[in-house]
Amino acid sequence: MKQNTHNLTGAALLHDPEWNKGTAFTAAERDALCLRGLLPPRVCTPEVQVQRVLGNFERKANDLDRYVYMIGLEDRNETLFYRVVIDHLDKMMPIIYTPTVGQGCQEYGHLFRRPRGLYISAEDRGRIAEVVANWPHDDVRVIVVTDGQRILGLGDLGANGMGIPVGKLSLYTACAGVHPSLTLPITLDVGTNNETLLADPLYIGLPQRRLQGEAYETLLAEFITAVSARYPHVLIQFEDFGTLNAFGLLEKYRNQVCCFNDDIQGTASVTLAGLYTALRITGKPLREQVLLFLGAGEAGTGIANLVVSALTEEGMDEAEARQRCWFVDTRGLVVSSRQDLAAYKRPFAHDHPFLPDFASAVESLRPTAIIGASGQPHMFTRPILAAMARLNERPIVFSLSNPTSKSECTAEEAYCWTDGRAIFASGSPFDPVTCSGQTFYPAQGNNAYIFPGVGLGVLVSGARLVTDEMFMVAAKTLAAEVEEEDLANGRIYPPLSKIREVSAKIGTAVATIAYERGLATMPHPKDLPAAIRAHMYEPVYPNYLGLE
């Protein structure tokens, strides 16, 4: 339980979200902490406060208003915010994260009320360590950082992308119990090439074009040095960087500092977990699958690389494993005869006649699964889904692009255009669908099933690096949590209500890898699962008077 180490009293206490209890301050606390008269006289229980929050939440006109309301609550009363989010995760996650956070980022400058996190800009070159020193907490263990270049499927939103690290770190706390004081959202404002933002007087970032090349790399290197110096035990999560920068940063730093890229590795892990679960329905092993990806960027190639690792772990030759994964990008099928391929695509450029589009690739390659990671909506058309149903008794259809407006198909389309036979997952949530006389509950392949648990395991073990093996074991752990009842209802992921339990198990599995591989810097607990659970924050108000 938190103690009042800040020695705050009066209005200062009410205005500090970490320590504020609002109307839940007891009469004795109000007297001792100079709060008498600064609050309405009636003392409310936390349960009544939650009831009030939910009532106000439901009265909002739309999801964006609900997003603004919840961010405002977090600014006022952090404990109450997390109590509401944890206890009502099904309702809250689509608001504080995808899909609503996408619209929140698009309008971030217009909605701006109070700064959250740390902004490091191109103007801070040469003094980033000074900027990092301004953060008030001395013990930060998890940083989520973005440069705003590729926010979800919405493109370059510049400094407005701060909504993403803020939202991701809220999920670290809600889903895995990482204490909010240990987290730090950071936006690197290196400019934007978004013409609308450059012309917007309310845009909160630098009104200049993006840094590129050496200037960009130098800024990132200074950033990594600065945060690593102040926070030597920190985990850095790269989020929503442009494709080339994402791959370059991960390759450069993954063996130097404790870091990972969620768009590449987290997405891969949650998708592999979904595949493992889907194969329990089809009854066919991973080695017999043919995966066809729409989109050959960070997410798609990250998934394929982890699938290849899974197949090689099962004993398949790496070259043969890569042959199970095929890609269609904006120019057509990725094949070896093409001369326009980026380096990260070439391992999946197979010997095959070029095909111009996704539909022709489906007919030629006869995939068992199609995986959308394109950011292009409505690309899984009715003819394509009908073809998948003709080629497979139970076609696997993963439409992973976020937010919902960018999804390659809807849950209703996936089920109804395959006569209810599709095994479906999406990146953003869809409502239940009734089709062919059966009600389906669409699975959401949300990275929140993976990255909070991975972070928890890294934090508890003090892992020096984050490895692909950790994401592999996270995928297997998540898949094992799906029960037969879930499968019968069309779910290939466990319900969100179990996510803290799932995160604890993933954290245990990840920490175990860290200890086994000699990557841990913390002593090995006698009871690792218990140690993981003991580190998980519960949003409970402090008792300022030390009374039972």
Catalytic residues: 97, 168
- In the 8-state DSSP scheme, what is residue 233? T
Nearest to 141 by CA among 273, 258, 10: 258
Which spans in 231-262 are helix H?
Answer: 243-253
DSSP E strand boundaries for 450-519? none
Residue 481 near residue 494, CB atoms below 8 Å: yes
Strand partners, 438: 435
Query: Read out DSSP for 141-199?
Result: -EEEEE-SSS-TTS---GGGGGHHHHHHHHHHHHHH---GGGEEEEEEE-----HHHHT
3 state SS of 338: coil
Q: How far apart are CA 66 and CA 64, in angstroms?
A: 5
Cβ proximity of 540 and 183 under 8 Å: no
DSSP 11-59: HHHHT-TTT--GGG--HHHHHHTT-TTTS-SS---HHHHHHHHHHHHHH
Name the residue among 389, 284, 293, 285 with its Cα closest to residue 350.
293
Tokens of 533: 């659970």
Bridge pairing between strands 235-238 and 259-261: parallel
- Give the Cα separation of 146 and 249 in Å (integer): 12
The DSSP result for 323-335, as a single string, is TTEEEEETTEE-B
Question: Phi then psi for 228, rounded to 5 degrees?
Answer: -70, -35
Residues near 129 by beta carbon (within 8 Å), at least 6 away in sequence:
222, 225, 226, 229, 230
